Amino acid sequence: MRYILGFVAAALVAVAHCAPAAAQDAPMDLRASPAPKGAKVKPPPIQLSDADILARANAYLDGARVMNADFTQVSASGNRTQGQLAMERPGKMLFHYDPPAHLEIIADGKSVAVRDTKLGTEDLYFLWQTPLKFLLKDHIDLAKDTKVLSIGADNQAVRIELEDKATLGGTSHLTLVFDPQTFALKQWTVIDPQRSQTVVTLANIDLKSPPDESQFVIPPPPIQPNKR
């Protein structure tokens, strides 16, 4: 289950980075005095209400339909893994981990498979048992699909903490961190039901090329040889 939650973390980063902005940047205080020449100018305090922040975050997520990207995932122990992901909403995603990891996570619209390509094992879950159920919906509504625990904003970041009690294994907590001026997603953190934290970032994001549909097909479980 921890792999699935890590997958979810990377999925949200992908979605939020690739979607267009949904509103104007935060209004600036035109009455502020100009800074001395050479001084570092601090951005003005964010002027959005909690409702506006949530609406913009939701628009970022809901606006993403397809993407391809590279990802880096850091676990609670500091273990770093890399790989490639592909997404097509509704319902379809793939995470392929680079060696020495030997893992693939595939969502085909109905199920999520966690495959160990070295051991030849596969764990299968219904999509609705995972946090992917709201990430991969045709239309995303954070306020309806999750519980918003807190929304915070300052000159450095905008943070939205979400709770999902319907995941397999218990409650998970998700935190999105956005740039307060551009609203680009800066960081995504997930804390799974075992209180383990995963952080994921993306690079080389392609927002236009449709992913290869064959990537979202869950192959049948490998046949294990008889031991005699």
Residue boundaries of the structural domains of the chain: 2-21+48-207
Name the token pair of 195.
């209180």
* pTM (2 d.p.): 0.69
Q: Give the residue, 83 or 131, on which the prediction is more confident.
A: 83
Q: Give the residue, 132 or 81, on which the prediction is more confident.
A: 81
Which one-letter amino acid corresponds to residue 18? C
Distance CA 191, CA 150 (A): 15
Q: Give the residue, 195 or 32, on which the prediction is more confident.
A: 195
| pLDDT of the residue at 223 | 60
| pLDDT of the residue at 184 | 64
Mean pLDDT taken over the chain? 76
Percent of the chain with pLDDT over 70: 72
Q: pLDDT by residue (tens digit) across 140-168?
A: 888 888 889 999 988 888 889 988 776 66
Q: Residue 196 above 80 pLDDT?
A: yes
Q: Name the architecture of domain 2-21+48-207.
A: Clam (2.50)
Mean pLDDT within 103-123: 88
